[in-house]
Amino acid sequence: MSKIKTLGLALISLAMISLISCKGNKGDESSDNSDTTEFPSYDQVVGDEAPTFETEPVQEPIMIEDQQGNLTPETTVTITENDVFFVIAGSFTVYKNAQKLNNDLKALGFDSQILVPYGQYNRVSLKSFKTREEAKAAISSLKSQTKNDALWILKR
C-alpha cells in the first residue's frame, strides 16, 4: 500500500511542477498575469457608425385551410358571408399540447377554443371575427396581450 501512495505522490508532484513551469513561461511573455481575455469593442469591429436595417411593414398572414388541413396564403379569394376569420395562437399535431395552450389562454381571460381539425393539426383560436378587417385590426392588440408574436389569421 505504501508503494502505491509513494507512486501517487510522485505523479502529483510531477503534475504540479509541469503546471508551475507552464505558468512561468506564460508570465515571461506578458507582464499582465490576469486570465481575462479582452474582446474588441463594437466600435472597433464595426466602426463608429452603427448598422442600420431597413424594415418593411409586416403584413399579417392570412391563411386559407382546405378540407385536408393544408394552408395556402390568401391572394384573391372570394369571401362569403359564411366565412369566419380566426386569430390562431398555436397549431399542434398532438391534441394535449393544444389543450394546454387553450387552458393557459382561458386562464388569462380569453375565450379561446380548439378548432375542429381539418387535417392533422389542432389549431387553438384566440378569437373569431366575421370580417378580415376586424381580425387584422385586433391582431396587434392580441399580440401584446398574449406576448405572442406568432399569431396569424385563418379563414374558414
pLDDT at position 155 is 86
Residue of 55, 129, 120 whose CA lies nearest to 87: 129
- Taking alpha carbons only, the member of 68, 69, 106 closest to residue 89 is 106
pLDDT at 11: 67
* Confidence at residue 50, expressed as pLDDT on a 0 to 100 scale: 47
What integer pLDDT is reported at residue 72 of this predicted model? 76
Residue type, 148: N
Count the neighbouring beta carbons within 10 Å of the beta carbon of residue 97.
14
Which residues of the chain have a pLDDT value below 50? 26-32, 34, 39-47, 50-51, 53, 55-58
Amino acid present at 5? K
End-to-end CA distance of the chain: 81
pLDDT value of position 119 = 83
Q: How far apart are CA 43 and CA 71, in angstroms?
A: 45
Cβ atoms of residues 106 and 112 within 8 Å: yes
| Alpha helix stretches (DSSP H) within 108-131 | none
Q: Which H helix or E strand runs over 87?
A: strand 85-92
Per-residue pLDDT at 10: 65
pLDDT for 76: 53
Residue 38, pLDDT score: 57
**CA–CA separation, 74 and 61 (whole Å):** 8
pLDDT at 118: 78
